[in-house]
Amino acid sequence: MYQFVLRRLLSGVLLLFVITTVAYLLLYAGGGDIARRIVGPTASEAQVTLKAAQLGLDRPLLVQYWDWLTSAVTGDLGRSWFNGQLVTTGVTSRVSVTISLVLGATIIAAAVSVVIAVWAAVRRGWVDRVVQSVGVLGHAIPGFLIALGLVSLFALNLKWFKATGYIPITTSFGGWASTVTLPIIALSIGCVASVVQQVRGSLIDALRQDYVRTLRARGLSFNRVVYKHVLRNAGGPALAVLAVQFIGLLGGAVIVEQIFALPGLGQITVAATGQGDIPVVMGVVVATAAIVVAVNLIIDLAQGWLNPKVRLS
């Protein structure tokens, strides 16, 4: 097991290295005249040259990359070109916001999906048909429209939640809940639609297996068979779907964070890419790649726990 984890960790580090190297070279090679953009169109050439020198952009690309890489491994990702903040500070302070959204949405989606999927798979008939139709609808409506609808109803009209802004959980749990509930719901709806379909399919397949009949014949209650045995068997594929959804939600969070003015990775990504703030974009790339690697590792471990055969392979 340790070897398995170690192997996955090493491949994760390698993946991080490849992703960041490619991203760095692509971003810097296509960065254009960033110094001019920072100082503005009416600044003099001397100001542009001074700015480029301040940012170290007057050095060869590979030298810049080597400096970035050697600093990055020590945890120093440089400073934002546009607000002077340390990239690590900017990114880490925002990771918690995005993670709380994405994790919240994933947990809610997982819980809700399982309940709905079991209901649909066991009851079948009209229940199943309704669940499937609603699922298609959940897929079809874009997340930002759901977010706008939620803000309009629950924040602007009913005033139950905050329309914009973020209150850290350390400041006030209630305040935090009032700022993240709507974004989490907005994010989780599309996710539920996907996971329900997957779990429902796996459950229907599993319910047809011989061992279900055997267990029932031995006198186990239907609920016990479904929740203790069938769900565990259907859990593997569902986890894989959840992992994909989690990673997909990182992208979905970009728009939702904009709509709710949440200081998450999405917001910093939009601002930094729009401005050409490459150190920050690189920081986001590193953070997202690390999250993706970590999620995949966790899912592998969870699948190993659910299904011992995975560990052997």
Partner 1 sequence: MFRSKRMAALVAAVALGLTGCSAAGDASQEQSSATLTLGTLLAPKTFAADQSEFANLSPFYQAVYDTLIRMKPDGTLVPMLAKEWKYNADKTVLTLSLRDDVKFTDGTPFDADAAKQNLDRFKAGTSPDAQFLAALATAKAVDATTLELTLSAPDPAFLNYLSKDASFMQSPASFAAPDIATKPVGSGPYVLDTAATVTGTSYSYKRNPEYWDKGLVHYDNLVLNVYGDQTSLLNAIKSGQLNAANTIDNNTLTEIEAAGYKVNPLQLNWSGLLLFDRAGTTNPALKDVRVRQALNYAFDTKAMLESIGQGHGELTTQVFPTSSDAYDQSLDARYSYDPAKAKALLAEAGYASGLTLKLPSSTLLGNTIPALITQQLKDVGITAEFTDTGNNFIADLLAPKYGVSYMILEQQSDWQLINMKLAPNAPWNPYKYEDPKADELINAIHVGSADEQKTAAKELNKYIVEQAWFAPWYRPQSSFVTDAKTNVEVQTGNAYPFIWSFTPAS
Q: Which tokens is 14 given?
A: 């390698």
- Nearest CA to 280 out of 265, 290, 291 is that of 265
Q: Give me the phi and psi of 7, to 5 degrees please.
A: -60, -45
Of 121 and 185, the one with the shorter C-beta distance to partner 1 is 185
CA 66 vs. chain centroid, Å, equals: 29
CB of 214 to partner 1, least distance (A): 29
Task: Provide the binding-site residues for partner 1, judged by CB under 8 A.
Answer: 36, 38-44, 47, 50-51, 54, 79-85, 89-90, 93-94, 148, 151, 155-156, 159-167, 172-175, 177-178, 258-261, 263, 267-268, 270-271
CB–CB of 35/51 below 8 Å?
yes
Of 43 and 247, the one with the shorter C-beta distance to partner 1 is 43
Of 90 and 235, the one with the shorter C-beta distance to partner 1 is 90
CB of 200 to partner 1, least distance (A): 26
The Cα diameter of the chain in Å comes to: 86
| CA distances in angstroms from 195 to 145, 174, 213, 237, 241, listed in the order given | 20, 29, 26, 10, 6
Of 236 and 252, the one with the shorter C-beta distance to partner 1 is 252
CB of 266 to partner 1, least distance (A): 11
Of 17 and 144, the one with the shorter C-beta distance to partner 1 is 144
CB of 62 to partner 1, least distance (A): 26
Of 150 and 206, the one with the shorter C-beta distance to partner 1 is 150
CB of 13 to partner 1, least distance (A): 29
CA 223 vs. chain centroid, Å, equals: 33
3-state SS, 81-149, equals CCCCCEHHHHHHHHHHHHHHHHHHHHHHHHHHHHHHHHHHHHHCHHHHHHHHHHHHHHHHCCHHHHHHH
3-state DSSP call for residue 4? helix
CB of 210 to partner 1, least distance (A): 33
CA pair distance 171, 165, nearest whole angstrom:
13
CB of 257 to partner 1, least distance (A): 9
Of 100 and 267, the one with the shorter C-beta distance to partner 1 is 267
